[in-house]
Amino acid sequence: MFQETTPMSLVIKTNVYAFCDEEKKRREGALKNKDYFYGRQEQYLQLLNEDVDRITVNLTNPIISKRSSLLYTKPLVREFDGASSSVNKLEEVYYNLKIDDILHQVDLGAELTGTCLIFVGMNDKGDIVLVPYDASHFSVVTLTDNKTIEALQLISINDIVEGDSNARNPRINVRRVIDSEIWTNNYIYRMRDGIQAKNPDRNELGYIPFIAFKAQEVLSQYLGHSPATSVRQLNGYYNQMATNLGYMIKMQSATPVVLNGFSQGEGISVHPGTALSLPVGATAGALQLNPKIKETMEVLQYFEEKLYETSGVPKITIIGESSGSTSGVQLLIKWAPITSVFEEKTNRYQNYELELANMILKVIGLEPIKDVKVKYPENYLPIDPDRENLAEDIKLGIRTPIDEVLKNNQSMDEDDAEAEVLTNITFNRNINNGGLDAK
Can you give the pLDDT at residue 363?
94
Choose the final residue of a domain: 352, 375, 398.
Answer: 375
CB neighbours of residue 210 within 10 Å: 19
| Cα–Cα distance for residue pair 59/232, rounded to 1 Å | 8
Percent of the chain with pLDDT strictly greater than 70: 81
- Domain for residue 114, yes or no? yes
Judge if 171 and 129 occupy the same domain: yes
pLDDT in tens, 325-360: 444 455 666 677 778 888 889 989 999 999 999 999
- Domain for residue 131, yes or no? yes
Sign, CA dihedral 82-83-85-86, equals negative
Judge if 365 and 389 occupy the same domain: no
| Cα–Cα distance for residue pair 281/283, rounded to 1 Å | 7
- Domain for residue 237, yes or no? no
What does pTM read for this prediction? 0.72
Judge if 412 and 347 occupy the same domain: no
Closest CA to 338 of 62, 66, 60: 66
Q: Quote the domain boundaries for residue 118.
A: 8-229+338-375
From first CA to last CA, the distance across the chain in angstroms is 87
194: left (phi over 0), alpha (psi -120 to 50) or beta: left
Is the pLDDT at 1 greater than 70? The verdict is no
- Domain for residue 293, yes or no? no
pLDDT in tens, 361-384: 999 999 999 999 999 987 666 555
Can you give the pLDDT at residue 368?
94
pLDDT in tens, 35-54: 999 999 999 998 877 778 88
Judge if 54 and 88 occupy the same domain: yes
Judge if 177 and 124 occupy the same domain: yes
The mean pLDDT value for 82-89 works out to 94
- Domain for residue 395, yes or no? yes
Question: Considering the chain, what is the average pLDDT of its residues?
Answer: 82
Strands 149-163 and 138-142: antiparallel
- Domain for residue 287, yes or no? no
Helix axes 84-97, 99-113, angle to 10 degrees: 70
Is the pLDDT at 425 greater than 50? The verdict is yes
Is the pLDDT at 260 greater than 90? The verdict is no
How many structural domains is the chain composed of? 2
Choose the final residue of a domain: 326, 351, 375.
Answer: 375
- Domain for residue 284, yes or no? no
- Domain for residue 360, yes or no? yes
Q: Could you tell me which residue, 175 or 107, shows the higher pLDDT?
A: 107
Judge if 342 and 428 occupy the same domain: no
Judge if 87 and 113 occupy the same domain: yes
Q: Could you tell me which residue, 27 or 321, shows the higher pLDDT?
A: 27
